[in-house]
């Protein structure tokens, strides 16, 4: 059955907009476990978006990608992170590099920037993924910003994963997803990365008995 | 010629000074007696000295004599003319100075060293003025070759053609002469007081024939400079052609001139006091400036 | 040929997995030595094949064009010497009881996987798969840097991971953008990611998309390449990693990341014209040289010193490609290979010093020439090479780059020369303080076995340096000419 | 002929580099092999130089390299041949000397390394002057610097040696950078680095670039030559090296810079330039000469003293060349040739007598194990040969007739004096002033060497070292003898040297002046004909030789046979002790006083009085230093600023991960905005 392309693009854009919103929520959130949940939520939206695109364009390998997203980003990784949080019993982040209101403002600026930058190439985008590229870029930037703004290792990891989500959205939206093998490779890498980071955070806790990465300033000139 | 006459000038100067001090003073020929006597006396050499000490007097004597041979005295054309120009003369004398300094150091006495070092600084300060003044004169003649200079000036009476540079150069060269030959106010040949002596300090260790040679050489040096002055700036009457009559006349004129200069020096010596060593700088600075001005004037006048 | 390529890439993987099951040191040594030999042989086959001009590829994904072959040459040669050196180095640690045999084996496993990932990345004819391979190398490197498990090593590792993961993520975004641009020309299929295809249709691709892509790629891979201001992880990682790993990081990984950037440059240029990528590379290059020089001046730790020197040299290469033109490009490429050789040599020597004294503080290190002629001499020669002294090739390449720069933008040449002089002063001053003079500390001398491996690897590197220093072997030139064409420097090499 | 000698030069030096390592078991053999090879190679080099000088047209040989813009090409034109000759002559004598001198290092040092580096040094210098390709030139130039650096730090356990070596390496590297700039400027028009292309560029060089090339070359080569104020490294580096190496560095290596200058100005720039260039060269030369000799006077370290004299003599050479350039720019070809002649003549002279003096210093060092003149004294009786050779060197460098130094300085004087032919009044006045400065320099040099020789060799030994000194082995004496011989020949046989140099200058000035400068019988040297000015060193020598006996005869004639008695020197009643002797410091004191504005001496006098009375000193301590003006006000500030700046920037690498992330983030944003 065919859905009107405008409607399709509306849906896609709506989903990606939701992704963006979750980013802001993460920025605004101090409690770590909540951040993880939000990340999981974002991943769900992501999967939905992917599925939508797959459905609308008939590029079926994207279904697999969506499925993988659900498995890895909604199930496995949040578990790991939760576990870490449990073990470190750091529930909330009290001190931030940049306080929440200004963070939100900056993120707003970043979104505008993203639109501004991608505007010239949007035109070649396929109809129904019009603005997703811009949103993807915005998510990447915000994830990046999260890593700068937050101090705890866990939140930095979340920021990193948000970036990944942005990338995935970009890939899906802009190019109907990379070829399957690429997707698989990427997911594999993300998985391993998540594991290694988990290992590292454990070690950090053991050695520095804190995951406050801003304390890691032993090596300098 | 110079060999023969040089001691006489020394004697003359001494005489003049003596006279000005209302003394009888030694006879004209006293220096000759001294030399003869010294030649006969036995030599006392220091055990610390090396062959340098022995060789130096001969080298000094020889170099001075060589310099003399390059200078036109009463004949404007010297046979050895091609062998060297006025710069060569200067450097030959420098050769003498070099060995004199070494000799002064050789004995290892503090006086020798002191004299040597002072001689060095005086020489250093004198040289530029000398070169420049020579240049100034050379420019008019368009040559640094003594015979040419003398010859030309003799023919076209250089000093008359453009006086200012010549006069300045003359003054400069005269001062240089006083410094180079160790006369008052730079040095006092009569003194043997540690604090003041320069030349005497260096030859303090010498005796007998060595002393004679050195003294003789310095006398020649003095006369050499006087000759230079007289022949460069007032070459009137010098023989321009090797004719007996002219030459005889030239000799007479030359004798007359140097006597005049000798008297002048004598007068100066008895009028001025010796300068402090570090005042010599200013004195020679004047000479330098004069000779520099001479050159500048030369060009400005020539346009 | 195909087989050679496969062997070249598979050998490290096999050797890596094998080293997990090895139980004795002798076997391990035999295994790795054999592995090194195989690497050399396979590399020789591949390079000569490509130099001879025939098409070396396997399946759709593996393809060795001159540029890949060039990377293979560097990776395999230095990788092999690093293996030998590691045998000596880790063997020494083993003998001294600093690490268990199990970890000894694990080290070689990681080490070889690292090599594998890099060799794979160099030969993959697919921009996205290359990204995956490079990500793989990042992961294995993360494990190696933290291998010694000290506090500082952990910190260095953490910084490395976070920074390079961010970088690599940005690079992926860039890759996506390239795909985004290319699929309009090549359609939504695998070919749209093939280097060769992209290169073919480069001039039709959408310029703006490529520009954005290039920015993300430069920043992304630039983080791994240690380009200032993304270099910050590099000194820490190089200083804390086990020395063979530092050598690998400096001599191979930086070049590999650079390779990725240059690949993309060769595609972006036809689309948007050189005066887009040129200035970016120039600016970053000069910035890198400056930063590195400043920190070399005030350096107290000799491993960090060489790390910064790597940043400097990456900057020099960037300047070479930034100015472009046959001379500049040639200089840049020649600089890459010479720098890998010299820098790995320097790190090998530094490792010997570290094994002897057990600390990295330059104050305590003097009179190396007296105390350990091998290490001291090698360090001296390597430092002179790195400082750009003939008869080593770095002088030639730096001079060529300056010439190329003078052709394009004279002021760049002047700035470049000034920076080089200061860098020279800094490096030479620091190294000579260590090498000359009388020894202060006695330290622990090495076992003959360890020394043997070290000597072999050092000699191999030095000989290679001398060999390509002032005169270029035919096969290398046969590689270089087509490579300069890859970068659209079509003009004849003078 | 040429080809064979060229190849034999390279092969023999090569053998000298590598063979010593073959005999690593036997240092003595290594020594013989290395320096034997060097001698043979230098001999071949002499042949090569002469052959090249008299060859009808320049010969070229080249080997291709697969690298872009680089060909290993050598060209044997008259200029190159002349410098090859200088290098090889010096190399011959020095290698001979080294055989003896290096014995001292056996056991303490790797003779193989020392000998190999020594050969490499000679080879690189030879190639520098032979190179016919800018790229190749720079390579051998850098190798030359590097090798000489290693030779300088031979005794690297001494901190001051390390400092000297490092300072030298940095300075010379800076110089090289400037040379690179020079060549790049030429390259821009020529499109290649071959000197042939430099000579005949596709398009003529714009005026601005010509000036830039002039300045860059002056700084670049000037650093190596040691012109003021770029000379600071020289007095550290030259003394630090082993003496035979110092002889080569001071005598020969800095001449390669002179070669480079002539190559660039007269060959590449075609000898057409404004008079200002010549004047700048002349002025720099005058200043270098004067300051060089003045600092030399204050030195008590014999080798540093000689090093400063190198600065002085480079200055004199540059004065000659500068005068030549001025004349050239006014189109007075004959005089230009004369100026160059003077400069080049002094170049070869300085190579010889400075080499000789350094070998002499090396011998005293070998015998006394100290470089401090205050600890010498009376050496003339311990080591008579060395004394004689040193004296010859001293006379030559003091330019006393009939030595070789006199000839070249006289020629310089003449070329300065001839300025009255220049139409420009300013120049007319400036050049004589230069002459005055040259005169002052000459006399100060005389004073300095009177001091050097007098204090070191005459009077009583001032220290136990000097008392126990022994004459040096034959190998060293022969080496010095060779050098001395070269000096004398150069002095009394200008009629052989001038035609040689004339072949060098003729291509650049377009005129051959050998016929005009030499009288028919070849006895006299005369710039403008005998009527103008002339010297004849052979005759002068003869004259002195005759006149010395004359004095003797006179003495004998008047005062019969000599009676001689030896007794102690009179020391005011007390019998003389070495401590009472006049010291080098004391000797230089008046000069220091007079030129105090230049030296800025600082004097420290500590007096301890006796408890009983405040009029009797127990002990006094007297210290005096002269201020190293250039280092204090020119070099140290640069280093200080750089370090301070670097130190302030530590914060960039503060260790905070967030900071690092921020760098990347900001870079990303900036670049993205830049693209848009």
The model's pLDDT over B242-253, given as tens digits with 9 standing for 90+, comes to 888 888 888 888
Instruction: Give me the mean pLDDT over the D287-298 stretch.
Output: 93
Instruction: Give me the mean pLDDT over the D160-173 stretch.
Output: 94
> Is D432 in the same domain as D475?
yes
Size of interface A-C (CB pairs under 8 A): 122
Instruction: Give me the mean pLDDT over the A53-77 stretch.
Output: 86
Contact A203 C154 (CB under 8 A): yes
Q: How far is A217 from chain D (nearest CA, A)?
A: 4
Nearest CA in chain B to D526: B82
Instruction: Give me the mean pLDDT over the D599-606 stretch.
Output: 79
The model's pLDDT over B52-84, given as tens digits with 9 standing for 90+, comes to 988 999 999 999 989 988 888 887 777 777 788
Looking at residue A124, its pLDDT comes to 67
A209 touching chain C per CB within 8 A: no
What is the Cα–Cα distance from D324 to D337, expressed in whole angstroms?
6
Q: Tokens for D140?
A: 């051998």
For residue A178, the SS3 value is coil
Nearest CA in chain B to D583: B113
From A159-163, B97-101, D14-18, D592-596, the region with the lowest mean pLDDT: D592-596
What is the Cα–Cα distance from B111 to B200, expressed in whole angstroms?
9
What is the Cα–Cα distance from D345 to D351, expressed in whole angstroms?
10
Q: How far is A143 from chain C (nearest CA, A)?
A: 10
- Split at pLDDT 50, 70, 90, the class of B30 is confident
Q: How far is C9 from chain D (nearest CA, A)?
A: 30
Among C128, C151, C208, the residue with its CB nearest the CB of A207 is C151
Listed by number, the residues of chain D in 40-99 with a beta carbon closer than 8 Å to a beta carbon of chain C are 65-70
Domain count across chain B: 1
Percent of chain B with pLDDT over 70: 96
Looking at residue D530, its pLDDT comes to 57
Contact D188 C494 (CB under 8 A): no
Q: How far is A135 from chain D (nearest CA, A)?
A: 16
Looking at residue B157, its pLDDT comes to 54
Instruction: Give me the mean pLDDT over the D561-583 stretch.
Output: 72
Number of helices (H) and strands (E) in chain A: give both, helices first: 8, 0
The segment with the largest mean pLDDT, out of B273-277, C188-192, D216-220, is: D216-220
Looking at residue D152, its pLDDT comes to 95
Q: How far is D579 from chain C (nearest CA, A)?
A: 36
Contact D459 B57 (CB under 8 A): no
Looking at residue D101, its pLDDT comes to 94
> Is D473 in the same domain as D605?
no
Query: Are D666 and D267 in contact, with CB atoms under 8 Å apart?
Result: no
| Physical contact, A and D (3 or more Cβ pairs within 8 A) | yes
Which has more pLDDT, D355 or A58? D355
Domain that holds residue D644: 630-675
A87 touching chain C per CB within 8 A: no
Question: What are the C-alpha distances in Å from D563 to residues B44, B151, B206, B290?
Answer: 9, 47, 14, 49
The model's pLDDT over D488-517, given as tens digits with 9 standing for 90+, comes to 999 999 999 999 999 999 999 988 888 888
* Residues of chain C contacting residue D169, judged by C-beta atoms under 8 Å apart: 428
Looking at residue A127, its pLDDT comes to 53
Nearest CA in chain C to A156: C162
| 3-class SS string, D343-386 | HHHHHHHHHHHHHHHHHHHHHHHHHHCCCEHHHCCCHHHHCHHH
Contact C166 D664 (CB under 8 A): yes
B289 touching chain D per CB within 8 A: no
Query: Are C17 and C110 in contact, with CB atoms under 8 Å apart?
Result: no
D664 touching chain C per CB within 8 A: yes
Contact D139 C330 (CB under 8 A): no
Inside any domain, residue D217: no
Looking at residue C11, its pLDDT comes to 95
From B173-182, C325-334, D470-479, the region with the lowest mean pLDDT: B173-182
Which has more pLDDT, D619 or B256? B256
C250 pLDDT higher than 80: yes
Looking at residue C490, its pLDDT comes to 61
Contact D417 B121 (CB under 8 A): no
Which of the residues B6, B56, B66 would you substitute to probe the D interface, choosing the one with the greatest number of D C-beta atoms within 10 Å?
B66
> Is D405 in the same domain as D364?
yes
Question: What are the C-alpha distances in Å from C408 to residues B72, B238, C288, C405, D191?
Answer: 69, 75, 20, 5, 13
* Residues of chain A contacting residue D669, judged by C-beta atoms under 8 Å apart: 113
Q: How far is B257 from chain D (nearest CA, A)?
A: 26
A214 pLDDT higher than 80: no
From C157-166, D120-129, D291-300, D604-613, the region with the lowest mean pLDDT: D604-613
Contact C399 D138 (CB under 8 A): yes
Which of the residues C383, C399, C472, C477 would you substitute to probe the D interface, choosing the one with the greatest number of D C-beta atoms within 10 Å?
C399
The model's pLDDT over C55-85, given as tens digits with 9 standing for 90+, comes to 888 888 899 999 999 999 999 999 999 999 9
- Residue A156 burial by CB count (10 A; 0-12/13-18/19+): exposed, middle or buried? buried
* Residues of chain A contacting residue C180, judged by C-beta atoms under 8 Å apart: 121, 124-125, 133, 174-175
> Is D469 in the same domain as D512?
yes
Contact A218 D655 (CB under 8 A): yes
- For chain A, what is the mean pLDDT? 84
- Split at pLDDT 50, 70, 90, the class of A1 is very low
Percent of chain C with pLDDT over 70: 99
The model's pLDDT over D425-460, given as tens digits with 9 standing for 90+, comes to 888 888 888 999 999 999 999 999 999 999 999 888
The end-to-end CA distance of chain D, in Å, is 69
D555 pLDDT higher than 80: no
Among D438, D555, D576, the residue with its CB nearest the CB of B209 is D555
Domain that holds residue B214: 2-18+26-302
Size of interface C-D (CB pairs under 8 A): 144
**Strand (E) or helix (H) holding D657:** helix D657-675
Contact D69 C367 (CB under 8 A): no
* Residues of chain D contacting residue B120, judged by C-beta atoms under 8 Å apart: 443, 446-447, 450-451, 587, 590-591
Looking at residue D97, its pLDDT comes to 96
B268 pLDDT higher than 90: no
Among D657, D665, D673, the residue with its CB nearest the CB of A144 is D665
Among C326, C391, C396, the residue with its CB nearest the CB of D143 is C391
Instruction: Give me the mean pLDDT over the A45-64 stretch.
Output: 86
Please state the pTM of the whole predicted model: 0.94
Inside any domain, residue D35: no
Contact D398 B98 (CB under 8 A): yes
Diameter of chain D by CA atoms?
109
Listed by number, the residues of chain D in 614-653 with a beta carbon closer than 8 Å to a beta carbon of chain C are 642-643, 645-647, 649-650, 652-653
C60 CB-side CA count, 13 A: 11
Contact B85 D381 (CB under 8 A): no
* Residues of chain C contacting residue A178, judged by C-beta atoms under 8 Å apart: 128, 176, 179, 193
Looking at residue B161, its pLDDT comes to 61
The model's pLDDT over D30-84, given as tens digits with 9 standing for 90+, comes to 999 999 999 999 999 999 999 999 988 899 999 888 888 999 999 999 999 999 9
Domain boundaries, chain A: 5-213
- Split at pLDDT 50, 70, 90, the class of B160 is low
Instruction: Give me the mean pLDDT over the C119-127 stretch.
Output: 94
Phi-psi label, residue B237: left if phi above 0, alpha if psi -120 to 50, beta otherwise: left
Check residue D634 and report its DSSP letter: I
* Residues of chain A contacting residue C106, judged by C-beta atoms under 8 Å apart: none
Looking at residue B158, its pLDDT comes to 52
Nearest CA in chain D to C293: D646
A60 touching chain D per CB within 8 A: no
C464 pLDDT higher than 70: yes
| 3-class SS string, chain C | CHHHHHHHHHHHHHHHHHHHHCCCHHHHHHHHHHHHHHHHHHHHHHHHHHHHCCCEEECCCEEECHHHHHHHHHHHHHHHHHHHHHHHHHHHHHHCCCCCHHHHHHHHHHHHHHHHHHHHHHHECEHHHHHHHHHHHHHHHHHHHCCCCCHHHHHHHHHHHHHHHHHHHHHHHHHHHHHHHHHHHHCCCHHHHEHHHHHHHHHHCCHHHHHHHHHHHHHHHHHHHCCCCCCCHHHHHHHHCCHHHHHHHHHHHHHHHHHHHHHHHHHHHHHHCHHHHHHHHHHHHHHHHHHHHHHHHCCCEHHHHHHHHHHHHHHHHHHHHHHCHHHHHHHHHHHHHHHHHHHHHHHHHHHHHHHHHCCCEHHHCCCHHHHCHHHHHHHHHHHHHHCCCCCCHHHHHHHHHHHHHHHHCHHHHHHHHHHHHHHHHHHHHHHHHHHCCCCCCCCCCCCHHHHHHHHHHHHHHHHHHHHHHCCCCHHHHHHHHHHHHHCCCCCCCC
């Amino acid at each position: 059955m065919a859905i009107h392309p405008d409607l399709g693009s509306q849906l896609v854009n709506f989903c990606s907009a939701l992704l963006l919103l979750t980013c802001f929520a993460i920025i605004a959130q101090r409690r770590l476990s909540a951040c993880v949940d939000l990340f999981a939520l974002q991943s769900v939206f992501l999967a939905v978006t992917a599925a939508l695109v797959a459905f609308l364009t008939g590029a079926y390998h994207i279904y697999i990608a969506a499925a993988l997203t659900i498995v890895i980003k909604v199930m496995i990784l949040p578990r790991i992170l939760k576990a870490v949080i449990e073990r470190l019993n750091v529930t909330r982040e009290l001190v931030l590099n940049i306080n929440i209101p200004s963070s939100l403002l900056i993120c707003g600026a970043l979104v505008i920037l993203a639109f501004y930058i991608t505007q010239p190439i949007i035109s070649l985008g396929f109809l129904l993924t019009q603005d997703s590229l811009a949103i993807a870029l915005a998510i990447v930037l915000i994830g990046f910003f999260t890593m700068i703004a937050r101090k705890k290792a866990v939140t930095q990891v979340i920021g990193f994963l948000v970036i990944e989500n942005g990338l995935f959205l970009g890939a899906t939206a802009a190019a109907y997803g990379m070829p399957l093998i690429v997707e698989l490779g990427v997911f594999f890498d993300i998985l391993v990365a998540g594991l290694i980071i988990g290992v590292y955070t454990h070690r950090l806790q053991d050695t520095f008995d804190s995951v406050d990465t801003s304390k890691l300033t032993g090596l300098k000139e | 010629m110079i060999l023969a006459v040089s001691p006489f000038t020394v004697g003359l100067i001494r005489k003049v000074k003596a006279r000005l001090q209302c003394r009888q003073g030694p006879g004209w020929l006293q220096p000759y007696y001294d030399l003869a006597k010294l030649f006969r006396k036995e030599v006392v050499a220091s055990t610390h000295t090396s062959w340098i000490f022995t060789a130096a007097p001969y080298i000094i004597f020889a170099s001075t004599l060589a310099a003399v041979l390059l200078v036109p005295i009463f004949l404007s054309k010297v046979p050895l003319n091609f062998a060297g120009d006025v710069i060569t003369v200067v450097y030959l004398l420098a050769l003498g100075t070099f060995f004199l300094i070494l000799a002064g150091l050789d004995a290892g006495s503090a006086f020798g060293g002191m004299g040597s070092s002072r001689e060095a600084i005086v020489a250093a300060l004198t040289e530029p003025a000398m070169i420049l003044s020579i240049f100034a004169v050379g420019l008019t003649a368009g040559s640094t070759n003594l015979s040419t200079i003398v010859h030309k000036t003799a023919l076209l009476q250089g000093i008359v053609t453009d006086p200012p540079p010549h006069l300045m150069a003359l003054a400069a060269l005269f001062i240089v002469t006083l410094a180079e030959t160790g006369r008052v106010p730079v040095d006092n040949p009569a003194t043997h007081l540690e604090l003041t002596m320069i030349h005497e300090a260096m030859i303090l260790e010498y005796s007998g024939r060595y002393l004679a040679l050195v003294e003789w050489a310095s006398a020649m040096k003095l006369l050499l400079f006087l000759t230079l002055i007289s022949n460069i700036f007032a070459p009137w009457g010098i023989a321009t052609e090797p004719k007996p009559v002219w030459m005889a006349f030239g000799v007479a004129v030359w004798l007359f001139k140097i006597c005049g200069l000798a008297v002048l020096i004598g007068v100066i010596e008895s009028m001025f006091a010796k300068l402090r060593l570090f005042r010599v700088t200013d004195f020679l600075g004047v000479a330098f400036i004069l000779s520099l001005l001479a050159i500048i004037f030369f060009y400005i006048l020539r346009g | 040929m195909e087989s050679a390529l496969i062997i070249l890439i598979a050998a490290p993987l096999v050797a890596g997995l094998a080293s997990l099951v090895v139980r004795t040191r002798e076997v391990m040594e035999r295994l790795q030595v054999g592995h090194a030999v195989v690497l050399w042989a396979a590399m020789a086959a591949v390079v000569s094949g490509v130099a001879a001009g025939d098409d070396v590829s396997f399946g759709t994904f593996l393809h060795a064009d001159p540029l890949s072959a060039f990377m293979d040459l560097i990776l395999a040669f230095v990788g092999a010497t690093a293996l030998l050196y590691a045998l000596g180095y880790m063997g020494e640690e083993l003998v001294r009881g600093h690490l268990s045999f199990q970890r000894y084996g694990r080290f070689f496993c990681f080490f070889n996987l690292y090599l594998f990932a890099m060799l794979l990345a160099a030969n993959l004819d697919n921009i996205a798969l290359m990204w995956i391979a490079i990500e793989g190398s990042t992961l294995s490197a993360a494990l190696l840097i933290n291998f010694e498990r000290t506090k500082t090593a952990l910190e260095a590792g953490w910084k490395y991971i976070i920074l390079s993961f961010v970088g690599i993520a940005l690079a992926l975004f860039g890759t996506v953008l390239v795909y985004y641009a290319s699929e309009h020309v090549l359609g939504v299929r695998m070919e749209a990611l093939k280097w060769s295809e992209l290169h073919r249709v480069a001039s039709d691709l959408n310029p703006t998309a490529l520009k954005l892509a290039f920015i993300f790629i430069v920043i992304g891979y630039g983080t791994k390449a240690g380009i200032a201001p993304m270099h910050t992880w590099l000194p820490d990682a190089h200083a804390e990693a086990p020395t063979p790993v530092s050598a690998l990081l400096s001599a191979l990984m930086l070049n590999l990341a650079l390779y990725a950037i240059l690949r993309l440059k060769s595609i972006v240029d036809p689309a948007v014209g050189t005066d887009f990528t040129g200035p970016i590379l120039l600016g970053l290059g000069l910035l890198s040289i400056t930063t590195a020089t400043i920190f070399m001046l005030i350096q107290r730790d000799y491993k960090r010193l060489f790390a910064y020197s790597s940043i400097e040299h990456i900057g020099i290469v960037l300047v070479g490609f930034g100015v472009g033109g046959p001379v500049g490009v040639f200089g840049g490429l020649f600089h890459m290979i010479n720098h890998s050789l010299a820098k790995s040599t320097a790190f090998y020597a530094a490792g010997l010093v570290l094994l002897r004294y057990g600390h990295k503080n330059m104050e305590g290190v003097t009179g190396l020439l007296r105390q350990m002629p091998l290490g001291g001499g090698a360090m001296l020669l390597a430092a002179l090479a790195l400082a750009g002294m003939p008869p080593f090739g770095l002088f030639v390449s730096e001079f060529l780059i300056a010439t190329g720069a003078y052709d394009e933008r004279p002021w760049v040449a002047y700035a470049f020369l000034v920076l080089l002089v200061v860098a020279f002063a800094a490096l030479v001053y620091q190294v000579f303080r260590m090498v000359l003079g009388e020894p202060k500390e006695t330290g622990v001398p090495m076992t003959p076995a360890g020394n043997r491996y070290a000597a072999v690897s050092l000699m191999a590197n030095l000989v290679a340096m001398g060999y390509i220093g002032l005169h270029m072997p035919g096969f290398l030139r046969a590689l270089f000419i087509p490579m300069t064409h890859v970068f659209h420097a079509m003009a004849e090499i003078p | 002929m040429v080809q064979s000698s060229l190849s034999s030069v390279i092969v023999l030096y090569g053998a000298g580099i590598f063979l010593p390592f073959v005999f690593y078991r036997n240092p003595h053999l290594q020594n013989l092999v290395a320096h034997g090879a060097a001698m043979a190679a230098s001999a071949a080099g002499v042949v090569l130089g002469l052959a090249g000088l008299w060859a009808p047209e320049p010969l070229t040989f080249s080997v291709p390299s697969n690298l872009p813009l680089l060909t290993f090409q050598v060209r044997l034109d008259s200029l190159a041949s002349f410098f090859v000759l200088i290098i090889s002559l010096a190399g011959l004598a020095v290698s001979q000397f080294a055989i003896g001198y290096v014995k001292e290092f056996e056991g303490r040092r790797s003779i193989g390394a020392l000998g190999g580096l020594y050969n490499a040094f000679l080879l690189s210098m030879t190639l520098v002057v032979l190179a016919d390709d800018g790229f190749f030139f720079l390579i051998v130039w850098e190798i030359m610097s590097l090798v000489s650096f290693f030779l300088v730090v031979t005794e690297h356990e001494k901190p001051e040696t390390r400092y000297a070596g490092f300072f030298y390496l940095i300075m010379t590297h800076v110089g090289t950078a400037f040379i690179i700039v020079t060549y790049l400027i030429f390259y821009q028009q020529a499109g290649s680095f071959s000197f042939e292309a430099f000579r005949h560029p596709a398009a003529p060089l714009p005026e601005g670039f010509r000036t830039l090339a002039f300045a860059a070359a002056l700084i670049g080569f000037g650093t190596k030559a040691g012109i003021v104020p770029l000379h600071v490294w020289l007095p550290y580096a030259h003394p630090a090296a082993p003496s035979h190496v110092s002889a080569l560095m001071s005598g020969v290596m800095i001449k390669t810079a002179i070669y480079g200058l002539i190559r660039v100005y007269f060959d590449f720039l075609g000898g057409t330039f404004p008079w200002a260039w010549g004047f700048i060269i002349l002025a720099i030369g005058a200043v270098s000469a004067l300051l060089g000799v003045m600092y030399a006077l204050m030195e008590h370290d014999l080798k540093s003293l000689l090093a400063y004299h190198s600065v002085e003599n480079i200055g004199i050479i540059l004065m000659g060349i500068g005068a030549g350039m001025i004349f050239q720019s006014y189109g007075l070809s004959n005089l230009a040739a004369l100026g160059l002649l003077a400069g080049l003549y002094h170049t070869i002279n300085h190579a010889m007598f400075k080499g000789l003096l350094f070998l002499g210093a090396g011998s005293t060092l070998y015998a006394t194990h100290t470089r401090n003149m205050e600890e010498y004294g009376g050496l003339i009786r311990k080591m008579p040969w060395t004394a004689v050779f040193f004296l010859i060197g001293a006379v030559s460098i003091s330019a006393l007739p009939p030595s070789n130094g006199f000839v070249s300085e006289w020629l310089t004087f003449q070329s300065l004096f001839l300025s009255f032919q220049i139409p420009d009044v300013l120049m007319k006045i400036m050049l004589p002033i230069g002459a005055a400065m040259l005169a002052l320099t000459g006399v100060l040099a005389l004073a300095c060497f009177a001091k050097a020789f007098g204090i070191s060799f005459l009077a009583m030994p001032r220290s136990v070292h000097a008392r126990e000194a022994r004459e040096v082995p034959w190998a060293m004496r022969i080496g010095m003898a060779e050098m001395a011989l070269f000096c004398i020949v150069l002095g009394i046989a200008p009629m052989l040297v001038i035609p040689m140099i004339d072949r060098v200058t003729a291509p650049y000035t377009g005129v051959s002046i050998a016929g005009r400068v030499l009288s028919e019988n070849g006895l006299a040297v005369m710039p403008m004909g005998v009527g103008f000015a002339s010297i004849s060193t052979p005759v002068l020598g003869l004259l002195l030789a005759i006149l010395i006996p004359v004095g003797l005869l006179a003495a004998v004639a008047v005062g019969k046979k000599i009676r001689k008695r030896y007794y102690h020197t009179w020391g005011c009643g007390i019998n003389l002790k070495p401590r009472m002797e006049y010291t080098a410091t004391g000797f230089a004191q008046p000069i220091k006083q007079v030129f105090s504005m230049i030296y800025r001496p600082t004097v420290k006098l500590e007096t301890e009085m006796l408890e009983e009375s405040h009029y009797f000193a127990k002990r006094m301590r007297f210290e005096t230093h002269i201020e190293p003006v250039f280092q204090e006000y020119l070099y140290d500030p640069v280093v200080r600023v750089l370090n301070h700046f670097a130190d302030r920037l530590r914060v960039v690498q503060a260790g905070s991960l967030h900071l690092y992330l921020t760098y990347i983030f900001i870079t990303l944003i900036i670049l993205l905005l830049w693209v848009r």
